[in-house]
Structure 1
Amino acid sequence: MDQGTAERLRRESRARAAARAPGPEVAAVDDLDAGGVRVRRYAAQPGEPAVVAVYAHGGYFVVGDLDSQDAYCRRLTSAIGGVVYSVDYALAPEARAEESIAGFLAAARLAHSEHLDGALVLSGDSAGGAIAFVAAARLRDEGMPVAALFLTNPSLDLSLAVADRTVDGGPDLDLLADAVAAWAGSDAAAPGVDPARTPIDGLPPTLIAVGTRDALRPEAVHMHERLSAAGVPGRLILLEGVGHGFVGGGTVGDAEARDQALAALGELLAR
Protein backbone atom coordinates (compact mmCIF):
# COMPACT_ATOMS: atom_id res chain seq x y z
CA MET A 1 0.00 0.00 0.00
CA ASP A 2 2.19 2.83 -1.27
CA GLN A 3 1.30 6.45 -1.95
CA GLY A 4 0.67 5.83 -5.66
CA THR A 5 -1.77 3.02 -4.96
CA ALA A 6 -3.56 5.11 -2.34
CA GLU A 7 -3.96 8.05 -4.72
CA ARG A 8 -5.35 5.80 -7.46
CA LEU A 9 -7.85 4.26 -5.07
CA ARG A 10 -8.88 7.73 -3.88
CA ARG A 11 -9.48 8.96 -7.42
CA GLU A 12 -11.69 5.95 -8.06
CA SER A 13 -13.55 6.50 -4.78
CA ARG A 14 -14.20 10.17 -5.56
CA ALA A 15 -15.54 9.22 -8.99
CA ARG A 16 -17.95 6.72 -7.45
CA ALA A 17 -19.11 9.26 -4.89
CA ALA A 18 -19.73 11.88 -7.58
CA ALA A 19 -21.89 9.42 -9.52
CA ARG A 20 -24.17 8.60 -6.57
CA ALA A 21 -27.66 10.02 -6.37
CA PRO A 22 -27.94 12.75 -3.73
CA GLY A 23 -29.47 11.92 -0.39
CA PRO A 24 -32.55 13.53 1.12
CA GLU A 25 -32.63 17.17 2.15
CA VAL A 26 -32.00 17.85 5.83
CA ALA A 27 -32.51 20.99 7.89
CA ALA A 28 -28.84 21.99 8.12
CA VAL A 29 -25.37 20.87 7.04
CA ASP A 30 -22.28 22.50 8.57
CA ASP A 31 -18.56 21.75 8.32
CA LEU A 32 -16.77 21.92 11.67
CA ASP A 33 -13.34 21.41 13.17
CA ALA A 34 -12.76 18.96 16.02
CA GLY A 35 -9.23 19.65 17.16
CA GLY A 36 -7.87 19.68 13.64
CA VAL A 37 -10.18 16.94 12.32
CA ARG A 38 -12.76 17.91 9.70
CA VAL A 39 -16.30 16.99 10.68
CA ARG A 40 -19.58 17.49 8.82
CA ARG A 41 -22.67 17.92 10.98
CA TYR A 42 -26.11 17.08 9.59
CA ALA A 43 -29.27 18.07 11.46
CA ALA A 44 -32.67 16.60 10.65
CA GLN A 45 -34.54 19.50 12.24
CA PRO A 46 -33.95 22.59 14.39
CA GLY A 47 -33.68 22.23 18.13
CA GLU A 48 -32.00 19.78 20.46
CA PRO A 49 -31.89 16.23 19.08
CA ALA A 50 -32.86 13.13 21.00
CA VAL A 51 -30.22 11.10 19.11
CA VAL A 52 -26.70 12.12 18.06
CA ALA A 53 -24.67 9.78 15.82
CA VAL A 54 -20.96 9.93 15.01
CA TYR A 55 -20.11 8.17 11.76
CA ALA A 56 -16.88 6.74 10.30
CA HIS A 57 -16.94 5.97 6.56
CA GLY A 58 -15.44 2.87 4.98
CA GLY A 59 -12.65 2.63 2.43
CA TYR A 60 -9.97 0.10 3.47
CA PHE A 61 -8.58 2.66 5.99
CA VAL A 62 -7.11 4.34 2.89
CA VAL A 63 -9.88 6.16 0.99
CA GLY A 64 -12.95 8.22 1.80
CA ASP A 65 -13.75 11.73 2.95
CA LEU A 66 -16.73 13.86 3.94
CA ASP A 67 -18.20 13.61 0.45
CA SER A 68 -17.83 9.87 -0.05
CA GLN A 69 -20.89 8.96 2.03
CA ASP A 70 -22.73 12.29 2.07
CA ALA A 71 -25.90 10.71 0.68
CA TYR A 72 -25.84 7.95 3.26
CA CYS A 73 -25.22 10.39 6.13
CA ARG A 74 -28.30 12.31 5.03
CA ARG A 75 -30.30 9.07 5.11
CA LEU A 76 -28.91 8.23 8.54
CA THR A 77 -29.81 11.73 9.77
CA SER A 78 -33.37 11.37 8.51
CA ALA A 79 -33.67 7.88 9.98
CA ILE A 80 -32.71 8.91 13.51
CA GLY A 81 -34.45 12.30 13.30
CA GLY A 82 -31.45 13.84 15.03
CA VAL A 83 -27.90 14.92 14.27
CA VAL A 84 -25.06 13.06 12.53
CA TYR A 85 -21.37 13.99 12.75
CA SER A 86 -19.45 12.51 9.81
CA VAL A 87 -15.71 12.27 10.53
CA ASP A 88 -12.91 12.88 8.03
CA TYR A 89 -10.44 10.77 10.01
CA ALA A 90 -6.79 10.44 8.99
CA LEU A 91 -6.03 7.76 6.38
CA ALA A 92 -3.21 5.32 5.69
CA PRO A 93 -0.51 5.25 4.48
CA GLU A 94 0.10 8.85 5.61
CA ALA A 95 -1.42 8.19 9.06
CA ARG A 96 -1.58 5.22 11.39
CA ALA A 97 -4.36 3.68 13.42
CA GLU A 98 -3.91 5.76 16.56
CA GLU A 99 -4.31 9.01 14.63
CA SER A 100 -7.47 7.77 12.90
CA ILE A 101 -9.02 6.57 16.13
CA ALA A 102 -8.04 9.77 17.95
CA GLY A 103 -9.76 11.84 15.25
CA PHE A 104 -12.96 9.86 15.60
CA LEU A 105 -12.82 10.20 19.39
CA ALA A 106 -12.35 13.96 19.06
CA ALA A 107 -15.51 14.14 16.95
CA ALA A 108 -17.40 11.99 19.46
CA ARG A 109 -16.38 14.26 22.31
CA LEU A 110 -17.42 17.31 20.28
CA ALA A 111 -20.81 15.75 19.53
CA HIS A 112 -21.31 14.88 23.19
CA SER A 113 -20.30 18.36 24.37
CA GLU A 114 -22.70 20.04 21.94
CA HIS A 115 -25.65 17.78 22.80
CA LEU A 116 -25.25 16.58 26.37
CA ASP A 117 -28.81 15.29 26.56
CA GLY A 118 -28.74 13.42 23.25
CA ALA A 119 -28.33 9.64 23.10
CA LEU A 120 -24.87 9.12 21.58
CA VAL A 121 -24.61 6.50 18.83
CA LEU A 122 -21.28 5.47 17.32
CA SER A 123 -21.56 4.18 13.77
CA GLY A 124 -19.16 2.92 11.16
CA ASP A 125 -19.16 1.24 7.79
CA SER A 126 -16.55 -1.38 6.79
CA ALA A 127 -13.15 -0.06 7.96
CA GLY A 128 -15.04 2.67 9.79
CA GLY A 129 -16.80 -0.08 11.71
CA ALA A 130 -13.49 -1.10 13.26
CA ILE A 131 -12.81 2.51 14.25
CA ALA A 132 -16.26 3.00 15.78
CA PHE A 133 -15.99 -0.29 17.67
CA VAL A 134 -12.65 0.40 19.34
CA ALA A 135 -13.72 4.01 19.99
CA ALA A 136 -16.75 2.70 21.87
CA ALA A 137 -14.45 0.58 24.02
CA ARG A 138 -12.20 3.53 24.78
CA LEU A 139 -15.12 5.77 25.68
CA ARG A 140 -16.47 2.98 27.90
CA ASP A 141 -13.16 3.02 29.75
CA GLU A 142 -13.38 6.82 30.09
CA GLY A 143 -16.91 6.64 31.44
CA MET A 144 -18.53 8.57 28.58
CA PRO A 145 -22.06 7.23 27.97
CA VAL A 146 -22.68 5.66 24.56
CA ALA A 147 -26.24 4.56 23.85
CA ALA A 148 -25.56 2.22 20.93
CA LEU A 149 -23.14 0.94 18.32
CA PHE A 150 -24.42 0.69 14.74
CA LEU A 151 -22.07 -1.15 12.36
CA THR A 152 -22.61 -1.94 8.68
CA ASN A 153 -20.51 -4.68 7.01
CA PRO A 154 -17.80 -3.89 9.57
CA SER A 155 -14.18 -5.00 9.67
CA LEU A 156 -14.05 -6.70 13.07
CA ASP A 157 -10.95 -8.92 12.85
CA LEU A 158 -7.85 -7.26 11.42
CA SER A 159 -6.14 -10.63 11.03
CA LEU A 160 -8.83 -11.64 8.49
CA ALA A 161 -8.54 -15.12 10.00
CA VAL A 162 -12.21 -16.00 9.49
CA ALA A 163 -12.99 -13.91 6.40
CA ASP A 164 -14.73 -15.85 3.64
CA ARG A 165 -12.76 -15.96 0.37
CA THR A 166 -15.44 -18.03 -1.37
CA VAL A 167 -18.04 -15.26 -1.77
CA ASP A 168 -18.10 -12.76 -4.61
CA GLY A 169 -19.52 -9.69 -2.89
CA GLY A 170 -16.29 -8.07 -1.69
CA PRO A 171 -14.26 -6.54 -0.21
CA ASP A 172 -10.95 -7.41 -1.86
CA LEU A 173 -9.28 -9.27 0.99
CA ASP A 174 -5.74 -9.00 -0.38
CA LEU A 175 -6.14 -5.25 -0.69
CA LEU A 176 -7.63 -5.11 2.80
CA ALA A 177 -4.69 -7.06 4.24
CA ASP A 178 -2.22 -4.65 2.63
CA ALA A 179 -4.23 -1.69 3.89
CA VAL A 180 -4.38 -3.05 7.45
CA ALA A 181 -0.61 -3.50 7.40
CA ALA A 182 -0.17 0.12 6.31
CA TRP A 183 -2.74 1.43 8.79
CA ALA A 184 -1.99 -0.60 11.93
CA GLY A 185 1.43 -2.18 11.38
CA SER A 186 2.60 -4.01 14.49
CA ASP A 187 -0.49 -2.73 16.34
CA ALA A 188 -2.82 -4.78 14.13
CA ALA A 189 -3.20 -7.39 16.88
CA ALA A 190 -3.39 -4.90 19.75
CA PRO A 191 -6.43 -4.48 22.01
CA GLY A 192 -7.93 -1.09 21.34
CA VAL A 193 -6.97 -1.31 17.67
CA ASP A 194 -8.23 -4.73 16.54
CA PRO A 195 -11.88 -5.23 17.53
CA ALA A 196 -11.35 -8.99 17.74
CA ARG A 197 -8.85 -8.47 20.57
CA THR A 198 -10.60 -5.61 22.34
CA PRO A 199 -12.39 -6.38 25.63
CA ILE A 200 -16.11 -6.27 25.06
CA ASP A 201 -17.62 -6.29 28.55
CA GLY A 202 -19.73 -3.22 29.11
CA LEU A 203 -20.03 -2.20 25.48
CA PRO A 204 -23.30 -0.52 24.50
CA PRO A 205 -26.11 -2.35 22.67
CA THR A 206 -24.70 -3.24 19.27
CA LEU A 207 -26.50 -3.60 15.95
CA ILE A 208 -24.53 -5.23 13.14
CA ALA A 209 -25.89 -5.41 9.58
CA VAL A 210 -23.97 -7.43 6.98
CA GLY A 211 -24.74 -9.05 3.65
CA THR A 212 -24.67 -12.80 3.11
CA ARG A 213 -22.37 -12.25 0.10
CA ASP A 214 -19.91 -10.16 2.12
CA ALA A 215 -16.50 -11.70 2.82
CA LEU A 216 -16.58 -10.08 6.26
CA ARG A 217 -19.84 -11.80 7.24
CA PRO A 218 -18.10 -14.46 9.42
CA GLU A 219 -16.40 -11.69 11.42
CA ALA A 220 -19.78 -10.09 12.09
CA VAL A 221 -21.33 -13.41 13.13
CA HIS A 222 -18.43 -14.21 15.43
CA MET A 223 -18.50 -10.77 17.06
CA HIS A 224 -22.26 -10.97 17.60
CA GLU A 225 -21.76 -14.34 19.30
CA ARG A 226 -18.99 -12.89 21.52
CA LEU A 227 -21.15 -9.92 22.49
CA SER A 228 -24.14 -12.13 23.26
CA ALA A 229 -22.01 -14.45 25.42
CA ALA A 230 -20.74 -11.42 27.34
CA GLY A 231 -24.27 -10.17 27.97
CA VAL A 232 -24.03 -7.19 25.62
CA PRO A 233 -27.48 -6.55 24.12
CA GLY A 234 -27.57 -6.48 20.36
CA ARG A 235 -28.82 -7.77 17.08
CA LEU A 236 -27.25 -9.23 13.96
CA ILE A 237 -29.04 -8.66 10.63
CA LEU A 238 -27.97 -10.89 7.76
CA LEU A 239 -29.01 -9.20 4.52
CA GLU A 240 -29.80 -11.95 2.06
CA GLY A 241 -27.98 -11.74 -1.28
CA VAL A 242 -26.27 -8.45 -0.39
CA GLY A 243 -22.55 -7.80 -0.87
CA HIS A 244 -20.11 -5.38 0.71
CA GLY A 245 -20.66 -1.63 0.54
CA PHE A 246 -24.45 -1.61 0.40
CA VAL A 247 -24.68 1.73 2.23
CA GLY A 248 -23.35 3.50 -0.86
CA GLY A 249 -24.54 1.07 -3.51
CA GLY A 250 -26.97 2.00 -6.23
CA THR A 251 -28.94 -1.20 -6.78
CA VAL A 252 -32.47 -1.89 -5.61
CA GLY A 253 -31.05 -4.57 -3.32
CA ASP A 254 -28.63 -2.08 -1.77
CA ALA A 255 -31.45 0.41 -1.15
CA GLU A 256 -33.60 -2.27 0.46
CA ALA A 257 -30.67 -3.36 2.65
CA ARG A 258 -30.07 0.24 3.76
CA ASP A 259 -33.72 0.66 4.63
CA GLN A 260 -33.73 -2.59 6.60
CA ALA A 261 -30.62 -1.66 8.57
CA LEU A 262 -31.82 1.87 9.33
CA ALA A 263 -35.24 0.60 10.39
CA ALA A 264 -33.54 -1.82 12.79
CA LEU A 265 -31.53 1.06 14.25
CA GLY A 266 -34.76 2.94 14.87
CA GLU A 267 -36.18 -0.07 16.68
CA LEU A 268 -33.04 -0.40 18.83
CA LEU A 269 -33.14 3.28 19.83
CA ALA A 270 -36.86 3.10 20.64
CA ARG A 271 -36.32 0.45 23.32
Structure 2
Amino acid sequence: MSLHPQVRAVAQAGGVPPPLTTETLTAARIGLEASTLAEAGPGTPLTAVSDGDADGVPIRLYLPSPANPLPVVFYLHGGGWAMGNLETHDPLCRYLAALSGAAVIAVDYRLAPEHAFPAAHDDVDTAVAWLHREGERYGLDTGRVAIAGDSAGAHIATVAARHWRDRGKPFACQVLVCPVTDHDAELSDVESPGLRPQGLEFCWDAYAPAGVDRDQPDLAPGKADLTGLPPALVITAEHDVLCGPGEAYAMRLAEAGVPTVAVRYQGMIHGFFRRLARFDAARQAVAQVAANLRAELS
Protein backbone atom coordinates (compact mmCIF):
# COMPACT_ATOMS: atom_id res chain seq x y z
CA MET A 1 0.00 0.00 0.00
CA SER A 2 1.25 3.51 -0.74
CA LEU A 3 1.40 6.22 1.90
CA HIS A 4 -2.00 6.81 3.45
CA PRO A 5 -3.65 10.01 2.13
CA GLN A 6 -3.55 11.48 5.64
CA VAL A 7 0.21 10.90 5.78
CA ARG A 8 0.69 12.43 2.32
CA ALA A 9 -1.31 15.47 3.40
CA VAL A 10 0.91 16.04 6.43
CA ALA A 11 4.05 15.70 4.30
CA GLN A 12 2.72 18.10 1.67
CA ALA A 13 1.87 20.62 4.38
CA GLY A 14 5.50 20.73 5.48
CA GLY A 15 5.34 18.07 8.15
CA VAL A 16 8.80 16.66 7.39
CA PRO A 17 11.37 17.74 10.01
CA PRO A 18 14.95 18.68 9.13
CA PRO A 19 17.76 16.15 9.71
CA LEU A 20 18.63 15.55 13.36
CA THR A 21 22.02 16.92 14.37
CA THR A 22 23.60 18.25 17.54
CA GLU A 23 22.79 21.73 16.27
CA THR A 24 19.12 21.01 15.51
CA LEU A 25 18.33 18.85 18.56
CA THR A 26 17.15 21.68 20.82
CA ALA A 27 14.80 22.99 18.14
CA ALA A 28 13.54 19.46 17.47
CA ARG A 29 12.74 18.98 21.15
CA ILE A 30 10.88 22.28 21.31
CA GLY A 31 9.07 21.56 18.06
CA LEU A 32 7.94 18.12 19.18
CA GLU A 33 6.36 19.52 22.32
CA ALA A 34 4.90 22.57 20.58
CA SER A 35 3.19 20.37 17.97
CA THR A 36 1.41 18.18 20.51
CA LEU A 37 -1.95 19.98 20.46
CA ALA A 38 -2.12 19.99 16.66
CA GLU A 39 -0.81 16.44 16.33
CA ALA A 40 -2.62 14.71 19.17
CA GLY A 41 -5.48 16.97 20.28
CA PRO A 42 -6.31 18.38 23.71
CA GLY A 43 -6.45 15.06 25.54
CA THR A 44 -9.24 13.03 27.13
CA PRO A 45 -10.63 14.21 30.50
CA LEU A 46 -9.94 11.72 33.29
CA THR A 47 -10.84 11.32 36.95
CA ALA A 48 -7.40 12.55 38.00
CA VAL A 49 -4.03 13.41 36.48
CA SER A 50 -1.12 14.28 38.76
CA ASP A 51 2.62 14.71 38.55
CA GLY A 52 4.79 12.91 41.05
CA ASP A 53 8.23 11.70 42.00
CA ALA A 54 9.28 8.05 41.91
CA ASP A 55 12.47 8.08 43.97
CA GLY A 56 13.79 11.03 41.99
CA VAL A 57 12.28 10.12 38.62
CA PRO A 58 9.47 12.44 37.44
CA ILE A 59 6.26 10.61 36.60
CA ARG A 60 2.70 11.48 35.66
CA LEU A 61 -0.14 9.33 36.98
CA TYR A 62 -3.38 9.04 34.98
CA LEU A 63 -6.42 7.64 36.78
CA PRO A 64 -9.36 6.80 34.48
CA SER A 65 -11.80 6.10 37.32
CA PRO A 66 -12.07 6.17 41.11
CA ALA A 67 -12.04 2.36 41.22
CA ASN A 68 -9.57 0.86 43.66
CA PRO A 69 -7.25 -0.92 43.10
CA LEU A 70 -6.52 -0.20 39.46
CA PRO A 71 -4.18 -2.22 37.24
CA VAL A 72 -1.19 -0.25 35.99
CA VAL A 73 0.45 0.43 32.65
CA PHE A 74 3.88 2.04 32.52
CA TYR A 75 4.13 4.12 29.35
CA LEU A 76 7.53 5.09 27.97
CA HIS A 77 7.55 7.83 25.34
CA GLY A 78 9.48 7.70 22.11
CA GLY A 79 11.91 10.25 20.73
CA GLY A 80 15.14 8.37 20.10
CA TRP A 81 16.20 8.56 23.76
CA ALA A 82 16.90 12.25 22.99
CA MET A 83 13.47 13.88 22.70
CA GLY A 84 10.01 13.67 24.20
CA ASN A 85 8.65 14.23 27.70
CA LEU A 86 5.48 14.07 29.74
CA GLU A 87 3.84 16.75 27.59
CA THR A 88 4.54 15.27 24.16
CA HIS A 89 2.69 12.06 25.02
CA ASP A 90 0.08 13.43 27.42
CA PRO A 91 -2.92 13.12 25.04
CA LEU A 92 -1.86 9.59 24.15
CA CYS A 93 -1.55 8.54 27.80
CA ARG A 94 -4.93 10.07 28.61
CA TYR A 95 -6.62 8.22 25.77
CA LEU A 96 -4.89 4.96 26.65
CA ALA A 97 -5.99 5.23 30.29
CA ALA A 98 -9.58 6.02 29.29
CA LEU A 99 -9.88 3.09 26.88
CA SER A 100 -7.95 0.51 28.89
CA GLY A 101 -9.46 1.28 32.30
CA ALA A 102 -5.97 1.02 33.77
CA ALA A 103 -3.94 3.63 35.57
CA VAL A 104 -1.14 4.86 33.33
CA ILE A 105 2.22 5.95 34.72
CA ALA A 106 4.25 7.99 32.23
CA VAL A 107 7.96 8.09 33.05
CA ASP A 108 9.95 11.24 32.28
CA TYR A 109 13.29 9.47 31.93
CA ARG A 110 16.51 11.41 31.38
CA LEU A 111 17.43 12.23 27.79
CA ALA A 112 20.59 11.79 25.73
CA PRO A 113 23.13 13.03 24.89
CA GLU A 114 23.18 14.83 28.25
CA HIS A 115 22.42 11.49 29.92
CA ALA A 116 23.69 8.57 27.88
CA PHE A 117 23.12 4.84 28.39
CA PRO A 118 22.07 3.45 30.81
CA ALA A 119 20.35 6.55 32.26
CA ALA A 120 16.93 6.04 30.65
CA HIS A 121 16.86 2.33 31.50
CA ASP A 122 17.92 3.05 35.08
CA ASP A 123 15.17 5.65 35.50
CA VAL A 124 12.50 3.23 34.33
CA ASP A 125 13.75 0.49 36.65
CA THR A 126 13.71 3.00 39.52
CA ALA A 127 10.11 3.95 38.75
CA VAL A 128 9.01 0.31 38.57
CA ALA A 129 10.70 -0.45 41.89
CA TRP A 130 8.94 2.56 43.40
CA LEU A 131 5.56 1.25 42.20
CA HIS A 132 6.12 -2.16 43.75
CA ARG A 133 6.98 -0.50 47.06
CA GLU A 134 4.53 2.42 47.14
CA GLY A 135 1.77 1.65 44.63
CA GLU A 136 -0.85 0.41 47.07
CA ARG A 137 -0.83 3.81 48.79
CA TYR A 138 -2.13 5.29 45.53
CA GLY A 139 -4.83 2.69 44.95
CA LEU A 140 -2.77 0.75 42.41
CA ASP A 141 -2.68 -3.01 42.02
CA THR A 142 1.02 -3.91 42.00
CA GLY A 143 0.12 -7.47 41.01
CA ARG A 144 -1.31 -6.36 37.65
CA VAL A 145 1.30 -4.27 35.86
CA ALA A 146 2.06 -3.93 32.15
CA ILE A 147 4.71 -2.00 30.28
CA ALA A 148 4.36 -0.24 26.95
CA GLY A 149 6.22 2.25 24.81
CA ASP A 150 6.80 3.57 21.33
CA SER A 151 10.06 3.77 19.36
CA ALA A 152 12.96 4.22 21.81
CA GLY A 153 10.41 3.90 24.61
CA ALA A 154 9.54 0.45 23.26
CA HIS A 155 13.25 -0.43 23.32
CA ILE A 156 13.43 0.55 26.98
CA ALA A 157 10.20 -1.34 27.67
CA THR A 158 11.43 -4.64 26.30
CA VAL A 159 14.69 -4.34 28.24
CA ALA A 160 12.72 -3.56 31.41
CA ALA A 161 10.55 -6.61 30.74
CA ARG A 162 13.67 -8.76 30.83
CA HIS A 163 15.04 -7.04 33.94
CA TRP A 164 11.85 -7.64 35.91
CA ARG A 165 11.51 -11.20 34.65
CA ASP A 166 14.95 -11.83 36.12
CA ARG A 167 13.98 -10.16 39.42
CA GLY A 168 10.95 -12.41 39.84
CA LYS A 169 8.34 -9.67 39.35
CA PRO A 170 7.42 -10.02 35.68
CA PHE A 171 5.04 -7.69 33.90
CA ALA A 172 1.68 -9.08 32.85
CA CYS A 173 2.38 -8.07 29.26
CA GLN A 174 4.45 -5.78 27.04
CA VAL A 175 3.33 -3.55 24.19
CA LEU A 176 5.97 -2.39 21.72
CA VAL A 177 4.97 0.20 19.13
CA CYS A 178 7.37 0.80 16.22
CA PRO A 179 10.19 -0.44 18.44
CA VAL A 180 13.87 0.35 18.11
CA THR A 181 15.62 -3.01 18.40
CA ASP A 182 19.30 -3.83 17.78
CA HIS A 183 21.67 -1.24 16.35
CA ASP A 184 22.69 -3.55 13.51
CA ALA A 185 19.17 -4.61 12.52
CA GLU A 186 18.52 -4.40 8.78
CA LEU A 187 16.27 -1.39 8.19
CA SER A 188 13.30 -1.51 5.86
CA ASP A 189 13.89 0.19 2.52
CA VAL A 190 11.06 2.71 2.50
CA GLU A 191 10.56 6.26 1.31
CA SER A 192 8.88 8.03 4.18
CA PRO A 193 8.34 11.46 5.71
CA GLY A 194 8.87 9.81 9.08
CA LEU A 195 12.04 8.55 10.74
CA ARG A 196 15.07 8.40 8.44
CA PRO A 197 18.22 6.27 8.80
CA GLN A 198 20.27 9.40 9.49
CA GLY A 199 18.01 10.37 12.37
CA LEU A 200 18.16 6.87 13.83
CA GLU A 201 21.96 6.88 13.59
CA PHE A 202 22.10 10.23 15.38
CA CYS A 203 19.95 8.86 18.20
CA TRP A 204 22.13 5.77 18.60
CA ASP A 205 25.24 7.94 18.74
CA ALA A 206 23.61 10.19 21.35
CA TYR A 207 22.51 7.38 23.66
CA ALA A 208 25.25 4.81 23.08
CA PRO A 209 28.30 6.83 21.98
CA ALA A 210 31.69 5.51 20.97
CA GLY A 211 33.10 3.13 23.56
CA VAL A 212 29.72 1.68 24.56
CA ASP A 213 29.16 -1.97 23.61
CA ARG A 214 25.97 -1.85 21.56
CA ASP A 215 25.79 -5.64 21.42
CA GLN A 216 25.12 -6.04 25.14
CA PRO A 217 21.57 -7.26 25.92
CA ASP A 218 20.42 -3.95 27.41
CA LEU A 219 21.10 -2.27 24.07
CA ALA A 220 20.54 -5.22 21.74
CA PRO A 221 17.37 -6.91 23.04
CA GLY A 222 17.28 -9.26 20.05
CA LYS A 223 20.54 -10.81 21.25
CA ALA A 224 19.22 -11.43 24.78
CA ASP A 225 17.60 -14.51 26.28
CA LEU A 226 13.91 -13.90 25.52
CA THR A 227 12.46 -17.01 27.14
CA GLY A 228 9.91 -16.38 29.84
CA LEU A 229 9.18 -12.79 28.84
CA PRO A 230 5.57 -11.56 29.19
CA PRO A 231 3.11 -11.79 26.30
CA ALA A 232 3.83 -9.19 23.64
CA LEU A 233 1.85 -7.07 21.23
CA VAL A 234 4.15 -5.57 18.60
CA ILE A 235 2.77 -2.85 16.35
CA THR A 236 4.65 -1.72 13.26
CA ALA A 237 4.01 0.81 10.49
CA GLU A 238 4.35 -0.15 6.83
CA HIS A 239 6.35 2.94 5.81
CA ASP A 240 8.76 2.91 8.75
CA VAL A 241 12.44 2.01 8.47
CA LEU A 242 11.91 0.09 11.72
CA CYS A 243 9.06 -2.02 10.36
CA GLY A 244 11.25 -4.98 9.41
CA PRO A 245 13.34 -4.93 12.58
CA GLY A 246 10.21 -4.72 14.73
CA GLU A 247 8.62 -7.70 13.03
CA ALA A 248 11.87 -9.64 13.20
CA TYR A 249 12.00 -9.03 16.95
CA ALA A 250 8.39 -10.18 17.27
CA MET A 251 9.40 -13.41 15.53
CA ARG A 252 12.34 -13.82 17.90
CA LEU A 253 9.92 -13.51 20.82
CA ALA A 254 7.57 -16.08 19.30
CA GLU A 255 10.43 -18.49 18.62
CA ALA A 256 11.43 -18.15 22.27
CA GLY A 257 7.97 -19.32 23.30
CA VAL A 258 6.61 -15.89 24.20
CA PRO A 259 2.93 -15.42 23.23
CA THR A 260 3.33 -12.72 20.59
CA VAL A 261 1.07 -10.93 18.13
CA ALA A 262 2.51 -8.58 15.49
CA VAL A 263 0.30 -6.14 13.60
CA ARG A 264 1.39 -3.90 10.72
CA TYR A 265 -0.57 -0.68 10.10
CA GLN A 266 -0.78 -0.14 6.37
CA GLY A 267 0.17 3.23 4.90
CA MET A 268 1.50 4.52 8.23
CA ILE A 269 4.87 5.96 9.23
CA HIS A 270 7.05 5.96 12.30
CA GLY A 271 5.54 8.01 15.10
CA PHE A 272 1.96 7.67 13.88
CA PHE A 273 0.80 6.24 17.20
CA ARG A 274 0.81 9.51 19.18
CA ARG A 275 -0.69 11.59 16.36
CA LEU A 276 -4.30 11.06 17.35
CA ALA A 277 -5.56 14.24 15.67
CA ARG A 278 -3.83 13.51 12.37
CA PHE A 279 -4.29 9.83 11.62
CA ASP A 280 -7.37 7.65 11.99
CA ALA A 281 -5.00 4.70 12.37
CA ALA A 282 -3.58 6.21 15.56
CA ARG A 283 -6.88 6.04 17.37
CA GLN A 284 -7.51 2.53 16.08
CA ALA A 285 -4.04 1.42 17.20
CA VAL A 286 -4.52 2.87 20.69
CA ALA A 287 -7.89 1.12 20.88
CA GLN A 288 -6.22 -2.15 19.92
CA VAL A 289 -3.53 -1.66 22.56
CA ALA A 290 -6.16 -0.78 25.16
CA ALA A 291 -8.17 -3.92 24.39
CA ASN A 292 -5.01 -6.00 24.70
CA LEU A 293 -4.21 -4.43 28.05
CA ARG A 294 -7.74 -4.99 29.35
CA ALA A 295 -7.47 -8.67 28.48
CA GLU A 296 -3.99 -9.18 29.91
CA LEU A 297 -4.64 -7.20 33.10
CA SER A 298 -8.06 -8.70 33.90
> Aligning the two structures, in what range does the TM-score lie when normalised by the shorter sequence?
over 0.9
Q: Report if the CA contact (8 A) 1:246-1:258 is conserved.
A: no
Which residue in the other structure is 2:290 paired with? 262
Deviation at 1:69, TM superposition (A): 0.4
Larger radius of gyration: 2
Which residue in the other structure is 1:15 paired with? 34
Residues 1:189 and 1:44: Cα distance change in structure 2 (over 3 Å): same
Which residue in the other structure is 2:213 paired with? 187
Rounded to whole Å, the distance in 2 between the matches of 1:45 and 1:188 is: 42
Which residue in the other structure is 1:253 paired with? 281
Q: State the secondary structure of the residue aligned to 1:144.
A: coil
Deviation at 1:89, TM superposition (A): 0.4
Rounded to whole Å, the distance in 1 between the matches of 2:271 and 2:250 is: 20
Q: How many residues align?
A: 269
Q: Give the partner amino acid of 1:215.
A: V
Deviation at 1:268, TM superposition (A): 4.3
Task: Decide which of 68, 75, 80 is 1:60's aligned counterpart.
Answer: 80
Structure 1 length as normaliser, TM-score? 0.92
Rounded to whole Å, the distance in 2 between the matches of 1:45 and 1:8 is: 37
5+ residue gaps, structure 1, are none
Q: Give the partner amino acid of 1:128.
A: G
Q: Does 1:209 align with 2:235?
A: yes
Structure 2 length as normaliser, TM-score? 0.84
Deviation at 1:224, TM superposition (A): 1.2
Within-5 A mapping of 1:1-271: 3-19=22-38, 20-113=40-133, 114=135, 115-159=140-184, 161-168=185-192, 170-185=194-209, 186-249=212-275, 250-270=278-298
Q: Which has the higher contact order (CA 8 A, sep 6+)?
A: 2
What percent identity do the matched residue pairs reach? 33
Q: State the secondary structure of the residue aligned to 1:58.
A: coil
- More deviation, 170-179/127-136: 170-179
Rounded to whole Å, the distance in 2 between the matches of 1:240 and 1:102 is: 34
Rounded to whole Å, the distance in 1 between the matches of 2:44 and 2:82 is: 27
Q: Report if the CA contact (8 A) 1:120-1:147 is conserved.
A: yes
Residues 1:95 and 1:117: Cα distance change in structure 2 (over 3 Å): closer
Rounded to whole Å, the distance in 1 between the matches of 2:74 and 2:281 is: 25
Residues 1:177 and 1:49: Cα distance change in structure 2 (over 3 Å): farther
Rounded to whole Å, the distance in 2 between the matches of 1:265 and 1:99 is: 27
Q: Report if the CA contact (8 A) 2:190-2:240 is conserved.
A: no
5+ residue gaps, structure 2, are 1-19
- State the superposition RMSD in angstroms: 1.8
Rounded to whole Å, the distance in 2 between the matches of 1:81 and 1:152 is: 20
